Structure 1
Amino acid sequence: MFAVLKTGGKQYRVQAGDVLRVEKLAAEAGDKIQFNDVLMIGSTVGAPFVAGAAVQADVIDTIKADKVITFVKRRRKHSSQRTRGHRQQLTLVRITELLEKGAEKSDVKAAIGARTAGSAAAAAAVAEKPAKAAKPAKEAKKD
């Protein structure tokens, strides 16, 4: 049996035992995570997602992709050039189990992107911070 899951803006066709390189997730090596955005599992097709379905995986490691080099050259009158390199951060996961039902009952943490996790943590910190009381205005000086 196979499933199609969505993470990091991409879709992956997976089955138990597969090893995937996905966009960086907010998880450490050895963690067990669960992908809840399942588009298809077995013969069940979601609209857009299959309700109650999930794909569980173990995080193997956080790695970097091969370096991509971009070179930009402008010639007319300025003759400037610029070289930039980029290495995308990826998470290596091994698919362990495909769940057709009961995903919400499992106590495995959901797989969320590292960027999303950072903004969610910042939003939670802002929400927890108590509102400051307004300071009383200073009285005007009389001559």
Structure 2
Amino acid sequence: MFAIFITGGKQYEVKKGDTIYVEKLEAKEGTVVSFDKVLMVNANYGTPFVKNAKVSCKVEKHGKQKKISIIKHKRYSRYLKRQGHRQPYTKLVVTSIEVK
């Protein structure tokens, strides 16, 4: 059984036991988070969401991704700006997919 759900403006396809990295959620480590914006379960499509369906996940940890470098440069004008960014994430483990 697989499902496609939305969180953080992105869609994720998951099965029971999968590990995924999503945009940072305001939940403590070890708690269970459920998502009810499920677009599809197996071959059942929603319009736009599948009714009475939810995906439950356990929060494993919070962290930051690898640093990316942003460099802005304009030639001949002595303009050079360097900036870095580390995107926060939440690591989730899918515990169950339910459809009533």
**Fold shared by both chains (TM-score > 0.5):** yes
Larger radius of gyration: 1
CA separation in 1, counterparts of 2:52 and 2:65?
33
Structure possessing the higher relative contact order (Cα contacts under 8 Å, 6 or more residues apart) = 2
Q: For each residue in 1:43-85, what CA deviation from the matched residue of structure 2 results, as whole angstroms up to 9, or x when unmatched?
A: 2100110011000010000011111101111123x21100010
2:93 is the alignment partner of 1:94: yes
Amino acid paired to 1:47: T
5+ residue gaps in structure 1? 102-143
Amino acid paired to 1:97: S
Aligned to 1:79: 78
* TM norm structure 1: 0.68
Which segments of structure 1 move beyond 4 Å, counting only runs of 4 or more? none
1:42, distance to aligned residue in structure 2 (A): 1.7
Aligned to 1:19: 19
Amino acid paired to 2:65: A
SS at match of 1:56: strand
* TM norm structure 2: 0.96
CA separation in 2, counterparts of 1:87 and 1:74?
25
5+ residue gaps in structure 2? none
CA separation in 2, counterparts of 1:25 and 1:49?
21
CA separation in 1, counterparts of 2:37 and 2:66?
27
2:41 is the alignment partner of 1:38: no
Amino acid paired to 1:9: G
CA RMSD of aligned residues (A): 0.8
CA separation in 1, counterparts of 2:85 and 2:49?
33
